Amino acid sequence: MKVDLIQYTPDPEKVVASAARLCYSADPVPELLEHLDEETVARFVRKLRAMGHLSPFEHVSFQFSIDGVSRALSHQLVRHRIASYSQRSQRYVKENGFEYVIPPSIQGNPQAMERFEGVMARLQEEYQALQGMVPAEDARFVLPNACTTSLMATFNARSLLNFFEHRTCRRAQWEIRGLAERMLDLVRGVAPNLFSGAGPTCVTQGVCHQGTYSCGRLQTLSRKKT
């Protein structure tokens, strides 16, 4: 998996702070921007987070390049609908010699690994054979969820906070959790105050919404505090 933050709104924290201040000021945005120093911006952004006043966060966006992830992951990713996606097409780009993601549970089991790689090899053979019989867009129906893909994804900051809340949770599937953790590291590097409290609710709010499916992390955190 390779994840890069390729573009983002310049001075994202300052933009968020100025958008929030505009609601309570008669001054135009350019003047608001001029009078915001780093300390004021950081304090204001943290206050907005604490108040749950997150609409100003929607004014800044972050664009990611994501490579070497599985189609199983991409199907989960697009469930986060307040974002924009572009993905390599299996209809127009042939997947001859396709690469694939191997789950850790399979990597750690020699018998499972042998069967898995055997299946991938057979699917590759059948995919190439079918291209000689039917259009490539129909041959692709035999390609597996494990097949790697590349995407470009653009989120606003508020949508990212929601994404991190759900996908850095230990209940999230391992591959997309790894993606979310890498994306969080990247945005914290350029907007630390916007994302300082990002993460699963057991860590950020002291509450778990998983019910009987909880991983038990909240109880562990609670015991550490006592």
Please list the active-site residues.
167
Q: Give the number of residues written for the chain.
A: 226
Q: Which long-range contacts (CB under 8 A, 24 or more apart) does 121-126 make?
A: 124/96, 124/97, 124/98
How far is residue 124's CA from residue 139's CA, in Å, rounded to a whole number?
A: 11
The amino acid occupying position 118 is G
Contacts of 44 (CB under 8 A, 6+ apart): 17, 20, 21, 36
Do 1 and 68 touch, CB atoms closer than 8 A? yes
Sheet of strand 148-156: strand arrangement? 2-8, 61-70, 148-156, 83-87
Q: How is residue 129 written in tokens?
A: 């054979």
Instruction: Give the distance from CA 188 to its chain's centroid.
Output: 13
Answer yes or no: are the C-beta atoms of 152 and 63 closer than 8 Å. Answer: yes
- List the helix and strand counts (H, then E) for the chain: 11, 4
Q: What is the DSSP letter of 56?
A: G
